[in-house]
């Protein structure tokens, strides 16, 4: 309804996952639309967001006063909720719980103009992305396409979401600043500037780069969890769905690292490079190779005078160790791709080409 490309990605999933994840996406899109709509008074918005999970069982509930571009998910919510009620109970329970938890977390940050500490940054990213990872993982396990441990290990699922969200936040510095949003944690940037906006200006570029590298180093701490999570997946369509955004994320961090263009323009992977990565990232070993390559690239670009250089090298060494594979001469590509994999690559390509985000579910 709100993203034809993402709808195509979901269609590449196997079995009952297609419907469950599609509804999960639409419900969270409705929640996100309420959050983003600045025309709704704060008190009313909080009430709407905190009640949305209950309204999944109200056949008549809808909201017609939104001014957001995606307002259709609120105006046609009875269609979404009807399909929700058609899902198996195991999926309904996950979607309702995650919607409630996410709404409560989002409401906490509605009146915040800054993300203060690194702990706050982790918490904010947990509410808007980590919970999505947790919900997806529980849906994967509920479908019996993945083992129970995938859905039970919330720490790894949360890291999957945090890695993607932090990548978006880091890369989108300039766009967010221009729109009056501040998602870089104050505990990090205040070491290098009086105001977060100061990093836009050439005279502050050295300090801006140091802060950028500090935050990228923080985001890279999630990669060991990402590799462990991917190693547990057994279903090919689930693996593709999870792995491709993760390798795109580390690729994006690699081109952002020590790159002053982050403060001047939109920094993205080259289209040809993005397509090549999407086609490669269909096995665990292939993904490890990609993580390995970008960890090497980041390590080579660590400046001698960077304040985070020791921490950056340490986490890159850990990634290199975890991503090491014995037969480095193999491409680790499957001998042939399934039709669903081809659909997935095509959809993700259009999704990536038309979006400035590596991946953002909500």
DSSP string covering 159-196, please?
HHHHHHHHHHHHHTHHHHHHTT---S-HHHHTTT-SSG
* Catalytic, out of 4, 85, 181, 270: 181
* Catalytic, out of 241, 263, 294, 345: 241
Tell me if residue 109 is catalytic: no
Looking up tokens 């690239």 gives 297
Q: Quickly list H helices, the chain.
A: 4-11, 17-36, 42-55, 72-75, 77-86, 89-108, 118-125, 131-142, 148-152, 154-171, 173-178, 186-189, 205-220, 223-232, 236-256, 271-280, 284-300, 309-322, 339-353
Kindly give, in sequence order, each residue whose CB lies less than 8 Å from that of residue 182, ignoring residues fewer than 6 positions away. Answer: 113, 114, 115, 176, 196
Tell me if residue 171 is catalytic: yes
CA distance 274 to 268: 9
* Catalytic, out of 6, 24, 140, 171: 171
359 three-state secondary structure: coil
Looking up tokens 């985070």 gives 308
* Catalytic, out of 6, 77, 84, 124: 124
Could you say which DSSP state residue 260 is in? G
HEC readout, 268-319:
CCCHHHHHHHHHHCCCHHHHHHHHHHHHHHHHHCCCCCCCCHHHHHHHHHHH
End-to-end CA distance of the chain: 14
Residue 36: left (phi > 0), alpha (psi -120 to 50), or beta?
alpha
Tell me if residue 263 is catalytic: no
Tell me if residue 124 is catalytic: yes
Whether 3 contacts 341, CB under 8 Å: no
**Residues taking part in catalysis:** 124, 171, 181, 241
């Amino acid at each position: 309804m709100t993203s034809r490309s993402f709808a195509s990605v979901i269609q590449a999933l196997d079995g009952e996952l297609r419907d469950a994840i599609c509804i999960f996406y639409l419900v969270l899109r409705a929640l996100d639309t309420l959050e983003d709509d600045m025309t709704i008074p704060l008190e009313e918005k909080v009430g709407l967001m905190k009640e949305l999970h209950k309204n999944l069982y109200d056949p008549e509930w809808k909201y017609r006063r939104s001014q957001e571009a995606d307002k259709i998910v609120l105006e046609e919510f009875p269609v979404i909720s009807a399909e929700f009620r058609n899902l198996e109970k195991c999926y309904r329970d996950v979607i309702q719980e995650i919607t409630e938890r996410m709404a409560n977390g989002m409401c906490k940050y509605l009146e915040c103009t800054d993300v203060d500490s690194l702990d706050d940054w982790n918490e904010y990213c947990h509410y808007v992305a980590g919970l999505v990872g947790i919900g997806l993982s529980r849906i994967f396990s509920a479908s019996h396409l993945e083992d129970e441990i995938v859905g039970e290990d919330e720490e790894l699922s949360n890291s999957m979401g945090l890695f993607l969200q932090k990548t978006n936040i880091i890369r989108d510095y300039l766009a967010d600043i221009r729109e009056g949003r501040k998602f870089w944690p104050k505990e990090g940037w205040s070491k290098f500037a009086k105001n977060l906006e100061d990093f836009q200006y050439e005279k502050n570029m050295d300090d801006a780069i140091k802060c950028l590298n500090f935050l990228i180093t923080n985001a890279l701490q999630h990669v060991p969890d990402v590799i462990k999570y991917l190693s547990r997946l057994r279903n090919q369509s689930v693996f593709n769905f999870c792995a491709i955004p993760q390798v795109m994320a580390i690729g994006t961090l690699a081109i952002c690292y020590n790159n002053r263009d982050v403060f001047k323009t939109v920094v993205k992977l080259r289209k040809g490079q993005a397509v090549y990565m999407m086609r490669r990232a269909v096995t665990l070993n292939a993904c490890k190779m990609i993580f390995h390559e970008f960890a090497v690239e980041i390590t080579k670009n660590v400046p001698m005078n960077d304040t985070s250089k020791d921490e950056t090298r340490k986490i890159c060494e850990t990634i290199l160790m975890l991503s090491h594979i014995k037969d480095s001469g193999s491409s680790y590509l499957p001998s042939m791709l399934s039709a669903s994999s081809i659909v997935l690559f095509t959809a993700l390509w259009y999704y990536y080409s038309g979006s400035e985000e590596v991946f953002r579910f909500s």
